[in-house]
Amino acid sequence: MHDMRPLPADSVHTIARYLLLRPAEPLDGPSVRQNGRVRKLVIGVLATVTAVVAAAVGTDFGAAIYAEYRLARSVRTAADLHNDPSVAILGFPFFTQARDRHYDEIEIRANGVDHPVVEKVSLEATLHSINVADASWLIGPDAKLPVGMAESRIIIDSTHIGRFMDIPDLLVEAPTRESNDSTGGTTESGISSPTGVVFTGTPRKADFHERVSVSVDLEVDGPDQTTLVMTATGVLTGPGTADQEVPEDKVDAVLAAFSGVMPGQRVPFGLTPTAWGARGSDLIIEAIAEDVTVALTQFNLR
């Protein structure tokens, strides 16, 4: 057994005095110097990794920007546009998509496109799961692209609808009451239902010189589904409208002023329209199709 007897008092005092008077290890001792070297090594490694990652991300980002620029130029050439459209190739990293010749999603938007009927329109397309196996990763003007799903839209703003209808101050708005369904009465892209769209303006050609709001039903018609038919169904009053009554003998003329037929509304790539309505102050015709092949030359169909 170990001897568990307490140390004599003078021994305890001697040990305590030794510990108190023993000089501390200097701050630049071996262990401190070793820790410093380790920290410097770790910091150096982290800085190198960060620099490599930043360079890789920057290079990937730069390649995506260049590919978008080239695609914008290709669309401009193929679709005979006056300006480069806005193009975005979505998904990260870009390099793996380019290597695999398969892009997750591409968005194309062109504003102020000449139109033979309403002077100017905007065109939009969103392509999903794009296969470029038979083309360069830098998509050229002649490319034909198989896509998993294509969404395309033609957009006419209130100003140009008003000029077409001879109501210069026309304002288009979504229906005052949307259907109470899971999407709030709109498509996923925010397009309202086609029934009860609100048109507000001054129908001077009906010999009525006050701003009035009317309810308008929209329909896409014609053998090739490219004619937008606007049928005014009634005068609207109350909150959110011009709140202007129309004398009974003027109602038919006012409704006729807000009605019209607008041909030539062809969505990009010639897809068949699947929805139409209002979004903001614009009228939009939208088409959605799956497993189709689109050609950039068909982005602007006049």
pLDDT over 50 (residue 2): no
Give me the pLDDT at residue 28, please: 55
| Any domain includes 269 | yes
Which range, of 56-70, 96-110, 171-185, 257-271, averages the lowest pLDDT? 171-185
One-character DSSP codes across 112-133: EEEETTTEEEEEEEEEEEEE-T
| Any domain includes 28 | no
pTM: 0.78
- Residue 243 is classified by DSSP as -
Give the chain's length. Answer: 302
Long-range contacts of the stretch 251-255 (C-beta < 8 A, 24+): 253/203, 253/206, 253/207, 253/208, 254/203, 254/206, 254/208, 254/212, 254/214, 255/214
The residues near 6 (Cβ < 8 Å, ≥ 6 apart) are none
Question: In whole angstroms, what is the distance from residue 66 CA to residue 84 CA?
Answer: 14
The stretch 150-158 carries a mean pLDDT of 97
| Any domain includes 128 | yes
pLDDT digits (tens, 9 = 90+) for 211-270: 999 999 999 999 999 999 999 999 999 998 999 999 999 999 999 999 999 999 999 999
Question: In whole angstroms, what is the distance from residue 259 CA to residue 253 CA?
Answer: 10
| Any domain includes 23 | no
Q: How many domains does the chain have?
A: 1
Comparing 45 with 72, the larger pLDDT belongs to 72
pLDDT over 80 (residue 81): yes
| 277 phi/psi in degrees, rounded to 5 | 170, -155
Give me the pLDDT at residue 45, please: 58
pLDDT digits (tens, 9 = 90+) for 183-217: 445 666 789 999 999 999 999 999 999 999 999 99
| 142 phi/psi in degrees, rounded to 5 | -90, 5
| Any domain includes 147 | yes
Comparing 188 with 115, the larger pLDDT belongs to 115
The encoded tokens of residue 12 equal 């305890």
| Any domain includes 230 | yes
Collapsing DSSP states into helix, strand and coil, what is residue 159?
Answer: helix
pLDDT digits (tens, 9 = 90+) for 27-56: 455 555 566 665 666 666 565 656 555 555
pLDDT over 60 (residue 117): yes
Omega within 30 of 0 (cis) for the link into 26: no
Q: Helices marked H in 22-130 — which ranges?
A: 30-79, 94-100
Give me the pLDDT at residue 248, please: 96
Give me the pLDDT at residue 39, please: 63
Quote the domain boundaries for residue 67: 52-298
| Any domain includes 22 | no
| Any domain includes 193 | yes
